[in-house]
A and B are shown apart, each in its own frame.
Chain A
Amino acid sequence: MKNLMSIFVAFAVVWVLHIVYLLSLAIRQNGVKREIATLKALIEQGGQPTARR
């Protein structure tokens, strides 16, 4: 197969971009879920805003 390196780089770029984006979504989602859980716990305890991390 001619130009194998160029073909490999082109396909790799596409998959790396999408995998990095999927990872960024997972990281952002986990952060938001953690914050939701913390806030829910504080609200249930009747915590004050100053108690926030």
Chain B
Amino acid sequence: MARKWPIAALGVITATGLVLAMYGALVWAPTEATMGDIQRIFYVHLPSFLTSFLAYFLVFIGSVGYLITKDFKWDRLGLACAEIGTLFCTAGLITGPIWAKPVWGIWWTWDARLTTTLILWLLYVAYLLLRDFMEEPARRATLAAVFGIFAFVDVPIVYFSIRIFRTQHPQPVLLGGQNSGLDPSMNKVFLVSWLAFTLLFVLLLRLRMRLEENRSELQQLRRRWMLQ
């Protein structure tokens, strides 16, 4: 019970944040002058990707942590973050084409930003599949850690792709230098949405880590039982 209430409190705070974010995105934020209302998808599209980048960064940290310490808690962090990061990346990859179709007239194009993002998603799906194919825990954790470090290389490539290449995807609205940025009221809604998605990530991470901790306990019990 003592372990449950912080998760319940985090759940309530996250739900409140998400409701506020949705209200801001759908009602409070002004309509964008060029694209119109369809631009409101931005408030779930970009926070989804930013949260997936955070998750993939933590996979990287977990991978390095495991290779240095050989402690399985780092491996569990990597697994949990890869799974949740892929969930957020999937949300971003689905909302992107829904936004693109009315604005660009096409669902998808193989420009640098979209292609490298799809590769990013495929890399972490491969990371999760790789884990499923291996039985021996130490070998699985080592290979997953090496793959987790390798896969993270694509995150900065995705981030900088619109700065390096000419793309169909718009130029950055955040940290994009002069002539970039958001209207202040749009920026507020975006920040609330980003915060709410980050809280959701923390909540899902806590729940996913608890599942892995219980699985670890189950493995120990199985070994004990077999030895009886």
Contacts and interface: CB of A to CB of B under 8 A. Distances in A.
Chain B residues touching A, majority SS = helix
A41 B85 CA distance: 37
Nearest to B102: A3
A28 B215 CA distance: 10
Nearest to B96: A10
A17 B87 contact: yes
A38 B30 CA distance: 56
Q: How large is the interface on B (under 10, 10 to 19, 20 to 34, 35 or more residues)?
A: 35 or more
Contacts, number: 92
A4 B37 CA distance: 8
A21 B36 CA distance: 32
Contacts of A13: 91, 94-95, 98
Nearest to B91: A14
A11 B196 CA distance: 14
A32 B26 CA distance: 39
Q: How large is the interface on A (under 10, 10 to 19, 20 to 34, 35 or more residues)?
A: 20 to 34
A4 to B, nearest CB: 7
B187 interface: no
Contact of B208 (A1, A2, A25, A33): A25
Interface in A4-53: 4, 6-7, 9-11, 13-14, 17-18, 21-22, 25, 28-29, 32-33, 35-36, 39-40, 42-43, 46-49, 52
Interface of A: 1-4, 6-7, 9-11, 13-14, 17-18, 21-22, 25, 28-29, 32-33, 35-36, 39-40, 42-43, 46-49, 52
9 contacts: A17-B90, A25-B211, A32-B211, A35-B218, A39-B218, A39-B221, A46-B228, A47-B228, A49-B228
